Structure formats: C-alpha cells, structure tokens
Amino acid sequence: MSLPLPPTVKGATAVERLANMDLELPALAANAYYVDHNQVGESIYISGQLPFKDGVLLGQGIVGRDVDLETGKELARHAALNCLAAAVQALGDLDKVRVVQMLVFVASLPDFGLQSKVAEGASELLIEVLGENGRHSRTAIGVAGLPLNTPVEIQMVCTAAS
C-alpha cells in the first residue's frame, strides 16, 4: 500500500518541483577510476554518491555521535540529489528517471539503530521530485566508516520511466 503523494508533486515537471524546493541538479565531478553510472540493458547502476554541494562535502563524522539525526537526513537528501544527477546523465531528462532500488550507507555507532530514519531524507526527496517514479525498494545499513569520513553514501538502481 502506497501513501498518497505530496500535493506539490501533482501537475509539475520534476525540474519544476526541484526549483520549487530551491534545488537544482549538481554537476558531478569526473573521476579517472570509475563512472557515475553504468547502463546494462534497461537498468542504470548509479555509483555511490556522497553529500557534495558545489564541490564541498557537506558533513563529516558518525551519525549518533558527531552528526544528529536531522543533519543525517539532510545529508542523505543531498546524496540522493547527486544520484539523480547521475541518472540524468544516463537518460537525459529528469522526468524519465524511475528509481528502482536505493542502498543507503550510514556511518553510525553500533547501537544507533535509526539508519532507516536517515534514509527517509533521501526517500522523501525522491518522491517529492519524481512522484510515483521516486518510490523504490530500499536498504539502509549502518557501517563503521565511509569515504572522506562522510556520514552518508547512497547507491541506486534506476530505469527509464514508461
């Protein structure tokens, strides 16, 4: 059973919804060792994205120790936005993106237990921007550490919306 979509989703394009949220898709920095996405058949595999904005990592530390839950959710939103930018690289249009699955890594203390709440920040963004195409299966997992000491990293699988 799906919850109803937010009212902001109806009647606007995904880019318009992003603009209404004062957000835009970032440009992703190229890397010599991996690509931001790889398409195999209908599936688009998005490399793990960190919460960068304008080339700056927005946070560091461990959720539940150095980073509070609300900040963790906001960092997850930024990482998901970077995933969407990679999906648009593959598909050329944000309205064509359908998120199939999302894996959220949360650097957290062993007894934190709220990794899924951190992941909700990313899930909410995807549904606000993409509507039904943003609904996805999801795994949120706690880890001891992530690259650059970031609190959140997100990996996605997308496809073209029909």
pLDDT (0 to 100) of residue 7? 57
- What is the share, in percent, of the chain residues with pLDDT greater than 70? 94
Write out pLDDT tens, residues 44-73: 999 999 999 999 999 999 999 999 999 999
Q: Which residue has the higher pLDDT, 3 or 75?
A: 75
Contact assessment for residue 95 and residue 49, using Cβ atoms and an 8 Å cutoff: no
For residue 162, name the pLDDT band (cuts at 50, 70, 90): confident
Whole-model pTM over 0.95: no
**Cα dist from 50 to 6, 16, 148, whole Å:** 26, 24, 9
